[in-house]
Structure 1
């Protein structure tokens, strides 16, 4: 197991000493002493679960603890979930501050006390974007590296609650750092299918470590799924090629900077990266001016958020339509019924909306 959290453990001692987490730790110790690990594992939210279920297949069952209709960052788990996670063979999570506190606490306790549980940091080796508050609102340089092997650098993946609004500078960050070092960075790397492919490889390595007897199965499954992600990448490149302008306006939580970075368009959001930020009137007015100036006809809104801001912009600008995009961070009952996962959310929901938002010629 690759240990990525040693530096963080000392810093989390105070957190782990709280009554709730201390009670959880005691429960975990009782589990370790009374029964062996259960087959399978947990992933911290839908996206990681979808990666893991494709790699594990029928051989290695994986659970998603986040309720349908809820995004990963919005879910607050109690100590009983950490207890359940620690009773299984594997836990896939993001080793980054500010995104899922419960997952960091569970991983810290597991690494310290339960070496039999394989921890998989899905961020390992992935190039991450700094959430630069000095460049609030806009994002997207589109470096467009097409490296299937994910030869990216890991660093500063950050605080889901610290960045403001727009970031025009992709500001990649360093390597081999823990959550304590990954502050002030945009955590939504998975919206880029190229970066997602590296995350799938991280999951494969974790499953192989947890269950080496079936390593060939996991390797074949991962290769097949990464091939699908290559196809998604090619579809986005082709589907966004004939755009009439280079800026989309997203009226809400900006989870899409990595798409802009990959495919060379700018995402303007009056709200920014943090789901807790609220745009002020000046930021909304500036967005309306941008829409009128650039001739943007379609305003984007996050499926898991409110359309109120998008509708306000349409009413007060030359834009005429609101289209929804998905950050592929959660799922819905309808999408589950259709058999849609991460791939389908990108290709069936987000890509058509981006094409409309960028004025792609039909």
Structure 2
């Protein structure tokens, strides 16, 4: 009887202990929802094995056009952390405001956005690009992405204090890799015959600012915009003036307009990837795409 009573007391104590421990076990992962690819990439690198990251945008899809399914809204609501860029994906902004405001990390709070350019044409009532619109493409400056990684490390450390030291260390490692990439761009674009890049849309403002380039865009910050005839004429004239050899288009939108312009000015076309997402089946990552961008820029600009 005494052994049976002791066994019962031990089981009861174990049950009470289990019920009273609400902290997540060490085997559980932090459930993170990322708005689009660059944020997924950084979160996975910083979080390592302790996070499970869901990218809301399917491979090959344009992240600006995100329309959330009910199941995705449920994912946002139940996530431990949402990493997003405010105003870039209005549907996600709305879902966060309604379901997850206290669990979201807007990366622009640690790396504020800069304004894009606005193009005015004689006789137009409105500029082709909205005056003062903020450029969301901050991840194309590796130093800014490093700042974002530090911010994500801080948020993950709050959500999962047991692994805070690992998150901080992972962010430091990523920062070092991004610093090396920054050095490669700085050296690779230091001495070039031209410094003007002609692009299908103005996604490369941060990259141009960082590496002393001039961006000449057919359209503004939204890739779906169609350039006006006036803008096409302006860009054609600038491309000829600067002896541009290459008109850049991007991976997730049609190259039709870039090809038309290239034919008009006697240039070729090439990909300059804004890295908003990867194509379906791609084995690339942020670093390999950025280095491919550097190679394309060096060839187009005649860099030594």
User: Are the aligned partners of 1:165 and 1:269 in contact in 2 as well (CA < 8 Å)?
Assistant: no
In structure 1, C-alpha distance between the alignment counterparts of 2:83 and 2:169, rounded to whole Å: 19
- The change in CA–CA distance for 1:294 and 1:165 in structure 2 (over 3 A counts) is farther
> Offset at 1:205?
0.9
Structure 2 residue 212 is matched with structure 1 residue 269? no
Structure 2 residue 263 is matched with structure 1 residue 315? yes
Cα deviations by residue, 1:97-124 (Å, 9 ceiling, x for unpaired): 3x21121112212345xx5xx3211112
> Offset at 1:343?
1.7
In structure 1, C-alpha distance between the alignment counterparts of 2:208 and 2:111, rounded to whole Å: 17
Match of 2:12 in 1: none
> Offset at 1:131?
2.5
User: Are the aligned partners of 2:111 and 2:144 in contact in 1 as well (CA < 8 Å)?
Assistant: yes
The within-5 A match list for 1:1-362 is: 39-95=30-86, 97=87, 99-111=88-100, 115=102, 118-133=103-118, 164-165=128-129, 184-250=133-199, 252-319=200-267, 321-336=268-283, 340-348=284-292, 350-361=293-304
In structure 1, C-alpha distance between the alignment counterparts of 2:174 and 2:271, rounded to whole Å: 26
User: Are the aligned partners of 2:118 and 2:220 in contact in 1 as well (CA < 8 Å)?
Assistant: no
Cα deviations by residue, 1:51-98 (Å, 9 ceiling, x for unpaired): 100011111111112111113212211233121122121111112x3x
User: Are the aligned partners of 2:117 and 2:220 in contact in 1 as well (CA < 8 Å)?
Assistant: no
User: Are the aligned partners of 2:201 and 2:219 in contact in 1 as well (CA < 8 Å)?
Assistant: yes
Q: Which runs of 5 or more residues in structure 2 are unaligned?
A: 1-23
Higher helix share: 2
Aligned length: 274
Structure 1 SS opposite 2:114: coil
- The change in CA–CA distance for 1:57 and 1:234 in structure 2 (over 3 A counts) is same
In structure 1, C-alpha distance between the alignment counterparts of 2:106 and 2:120, rounded to whole Å: 28
> Offset at 1:127?
3.7
Q: Which runs of 5 or more residues in structure 1 are unaligned?
A: 1-35, 137-161, 168-182
User: Are the aligned partners of 1:288 and 1:317 in contact in 2 as well (CA < 8 Å)?
Assistant: yes
In structure 2, C-alpha distance between the alignment counterparts of 1:290 and 1:163, rounded to whole Å: 18
Structure 1 SS opposite 2:201: coil
Superposition TM-score, scaled by structure 1 size: 0.71
> Offset at 1:38?
7.8
